[in-house]
Structure 1
Amino acid sequence: MNKVLLYGLLSIAILSGCKKEVVPAAAETVTETVGRVSVKNIEFNYLTAKGQLKLNESGESVSSGYSLRIKKDSVIWISVQPGLGIEAARLKVTRDSVFMVNRIHREYLASDYSYLSEKFKVDMTYNVLQAILLGNYQAQGQEKVVDAGEQQHIQQLNANLLFDYFIGRQTQKLQQLQVKDQQTSNTISVKYNNFQEVGQVAFAHELVAVAMKSGKPATFTLNHSKVTTTDEVLDFPFAVPADYKRL
């Protein structure tokens, strides 16, 4: 599997943030309080974005453009586009399945979440991917609030995953998130930077994330642009040519 396709897949697990260029009509803010936790999440029906992503792994660096579509709580779709209108890979993630097509190697994947869990050595689900992608805080599992000065520090334990959320007290926005698999000790750490208004909601336009697997880091930097939210129904096209090999 080539590197472009690899970071396209990895980016689904750690994407977030956007730089606002068009005010999304459907974007709104929701303040959710759980005990002493107060946070403003972005809410929408459909979201689209374009941007640039970069991967640094094992001394190598790769960058590419991408297009993203999300139907909240249902579908995540991404097209990885290195340039000149060429698509290197397309991915579609639903609540129970992962689909991927590699146009360079003429291969495709159709699997459940065991593929992502094995690849990252972290127990992956759709809800985990979407929460990291959006930079939204979710109340789930066993939870406690830790005093952390200017930030709210919330720890959650959900199945094998330990979540550490750091939320600004003044901004009420998620600033840092760490997900740790209790069985493997592998982690995904995400920092959300450079918040700008998206409609009524402050939303990060820069993301820096580090996936640590077996002590080896892979660092991702994402900058997103042309982000919109809408109530208009979007398509999530995905087709595999008959001559492609299944992975």
Structure 2
Amino acid sequence: MSKPLLLCLLGLFLLAGCKKEAVPTAASTTTENIGTVEVNNFDFNYLSSKAQISLKDSDDNLSSGVSFRMKKDSVIWVSVQPGLGIEAARVMLTQDSVYIVNRLQKEYVAADYAYLRHKLQVDVSFDLLQAILLGNYQAQGAEKALNEGDMQHVQQLRQNLTFDYFIGRLNSKLQQLRVQDNNTGNTITVKYDGFENVGQVPFAHDLAAQVLQKGQVSDFSISHSRISVSDEPLSFPFSIPAGYERLALN
């Protein structure tokens, strides 16, 4: 898999902040009280943004422009654009499928989530990716909640994954999420900061993430120049050009 495409896939774990911008179209809040947990989750119908994703690991320090679109609970769509109007890759995730076109190598992937689990060595799903991108808390599995100063610490066990949520008591927003795959020891840590409103909803405008995979550390960030939410439907164009080679899934 090419590095720009890997950059895109790992960037799907992130959603970081826009600078000062025009007020986007309306959004709404979803406030949930689950046991002792109070959280203010981000809710929307359609979301779009322009962003810059950066990747730093032991081998490379890379960045790329990205266009991002989402339909809540249905589609995550990403176009990777390194510069000069050139699209290097396009990704579309649905609830059960993963589609990737690599224009630089003229190859594509059409698979289920077993492909991403194999590549990233973490047991990911559409709902998990969506929640991480939005900075939302998910109430699932066995959990315990503790008050730790100005944070609520919620720990969950979901099959082979351990989730540690740290929710700010002041704004009831997720401040940090750590996910560990108990089978592999691989972890993803995402920190959310710089909360500003998108419409009427607080949203983390700064984000830093780190992936520990097989003892190797990679750091990621995304900086948005524009982000908006709307009730108006967005399009999610995706096609596979003739002559492209389908990649093996192993």
Is 1:164 matched up with 2:161?
no
Is the 8 Å Cα contact of residues 22 and 227 (structure 1) preserved in structure 2? Answer: no
Q: What residue in structure 2 maps to residue 76 of structure 1?
A: 76
Identity, % of aligned positions? 56
Q: Which residue identity lines up with residue 16 of structure 1 in the other structure?
A: L
Q: Secondary structure at the match of 2:21?
A: coil
Q: Distance in 2 between matches of 1:144 and 1:200?
A: 30
Contact 1:67 1:78 in 2 (8 A): yes
1:93-117 CA-to-partner distances (Å, cap 9, x unmatched) read 0001100000001010011101111
Correspondence for 1:88: 88
| 2:142 corresponds to | 142
Aligned ranges 1:171-182 → 2 under 5 Å: 171-182=171-182
State whether residues 17 and 134 of structure 1, in contact with CA within 8 Å, keep that contact through their aligned partners in structure 2: no
**Partner of residue 65, structure 1:** 65
Q: Distance in 1 between matches of 2:164 and 2:129?
A: 15
| 1:64 and 1:81 in contact (8 A); partners too | yes
Q: 2:205 is matched with which residue?
A: 205
Q: Does 1:98 align with 2:98?
A: yes
Deviation at 1:217, TM superposition (A): 0.8
TM-score with structure 2 setting the length: 0.95
Show the counterpart of 1:15. Answer: 14
One-letter code of the match for 2:124? M
Aligned length: 246
The answer to whether the 8 A contact 2:88-2:103 is kept is yes
**Structure 2 stretches of 5 or more lacking a match?**
none
Task: Give the Cα–Cα distance (whole angstroms) in 1 for the partners of residues 43 and 244 of structure 2.
Answer: 38
Three-state SS of the structure 1 residue aligned to 2:76 is strand
- Compute the RMSD of aligned alpha carbons: 1.1
The AA in structure 2 aligned to 1:86 is I
Question: What corresponds to 1:228 in structure 2?
Answer: 228
For 2:228, the aligned partner's letter is: T
Stretches of structure 1 lacking an aligned partner (at least 5 in a row): none
| Alpha-carbon displacement from aligned partner over 1:44-68 (angstroms, at most 9, x marks no partner) | 0110011111001124100011000
Contact 2:16 2:208 in 1 (8 A): no
CA contact (8 A) 1:206 1:224 kept: no
1:131 aligns with 2:159: no
Q: What does 1:113-128 correspond to in 2, within 5 Å? A: 113-128=113-128
Q: With structure 1 as the length reference, what TM-score do the two structures score?
A: 0.96
Deviation at 1:185, TM superposition (A): 1.1
Misfit runs of 4+, over 4 Å: none
Q: Secondary structure at the match of 1:175?
A: strand
